[in-house]
Amino acid sequence: MLRDVNRSGEMEVFVAVVEAGSFSEAARRLDMSPSAVSKLVSRLEARLETRLLNRSTRSIDLTTEGERFHRESLCILDQMTALEEGLLHETPQPTGDVRVNMNLPFGLQCVLDLLPGFLACYPGIRLCVDMTDQVVDLVEHHADVAIRVGPMRDSGLLQRKLMETHFVTVATPSYLESHGTPETVNELEKHNCLTFAFRRQMPEWKFRDETGQPRTFNPRGNLLLGDGESMRRLTLAGTGIAQLSLFQVHEDLAAGKLVPVLERFAAREPQTVHAVFMGPNRYMPQRVRVFVDYLATNLRADHQATKEMRSVW
């Protein structure tokens, strides 16, 4: 009988797995064993007769049903928390400021167009958005949540995976017509390769050789830039070849303004986008939680559409 099932407990464990990004990390946060967490999620899927998570050796991803169950679980758990705190009738809708920090290219290409829809859903929330390619300290800058692209350092911050992307090497058709199209990675030595000026950016471009083994290339050029959006614009101006995140250039590729270079040597290493925030997550303010949930749901949808568009490039 369902009365014998601790459904709220199952929801809490499932939400913890999604937000931790792995069974082992969720188990650590919940003070449970990884096997117990895995068995509980499997039992939940069996009871619902549907798969909620796609599991691999490297990551877990929500299925469509999992996204819905996660979203509804968060609402139910929020209501339970509000009820326990005596706030159910005082704050039926989240209100207040949400201070967000994100890098410039991701903000411009992926997030800004989502904000009007979010504000229409949550009129009591005011967003304070700061876009910069410098990594900021959440405490020092009074940020509630930051959106970060690429490898995460063990900073003690909680994180929620939003989507995955990867790097693509690109140039304009006019640049390649004037300077030639490199056929091998070594031929990049003859080209103007745009690079970043800040130290935290990895200076090497990643590729695969003919046998599929990883290899790197140290780009050199006459232009170093401090943000990805400037690099994209100067690449579009025909200044040289750049290696940029797919989310930055997928529209330019679809329109033919940029073309991929050395695709058969592309590394395709996943570049994960995370929302990071201070925990513990179960006590995250509702105004912050609904913002992160909204991004996760809509960015996954946009990312799936981008993957389906790749066939036309």
Tokens of 120: 């229409």
Indicate the residue among 38, 65, 92 that finishes a domain: 92
Model's pTM, two decimal places?
0.65
pLDDT tens digits along 269-298: 888 888 888 755 555 788 888 899 899 888
The one-character DSSP state at 179 is: H
pLDDT tens digits along 82-132: 666 555 555 568 888 999 988 888 898 899 999 999 999 999 999 999 887
Q: Check whether 141 has a pLDDT greater than 70.
A: no
Say what the pLDDT of residue 135 is. Answer: 66
- My answer on whether 66 and 22 are in the same domain is yes
Cβ proximity of 52 and 17 under 8 Å: no
| CATH number reported for the structural domain that contains residue 241 in this entry | 3.40.190.10
Indicate the residue among 41, 61, 92 that finishes a domain: 92
Indicate the residue among 92, 114, 135 that finishes a domain: 92
- In angstroms, the CA 152 to CA 272 distance is 9
- My answer on whether 209 and 287 are in the same domain is no
Maximum average pLDDT range among 32-41, 143-152, 223-232, 240-249: 240-249
Nearest by Cα to 80 from 309, 283, 274, 308: 283
- My answer on whether 75 and 109 are in the same domain is no
Tokens of 119: 């504000």
Which residue segment(s) compose the domain that 297 sits in? 93-161+271-313
Tokens of 91: 């704050």
| CA distances (Å), origin 263, targets 192, 208, 312 | 18, 10, 14
pLDDT tens digits along 153-170: 655 667 788 888 889 999
Rg of the Cα trace of the chain?
A: 22
∠ Cα 54 58 61 (to 5°): 30
- In angstroms, the CA 40 to CA 99 distance is 35
- My answer on whether 145 and 277 are in the same domain is yes
Cβ proximity of 104 and 131 under 8 Å: yes
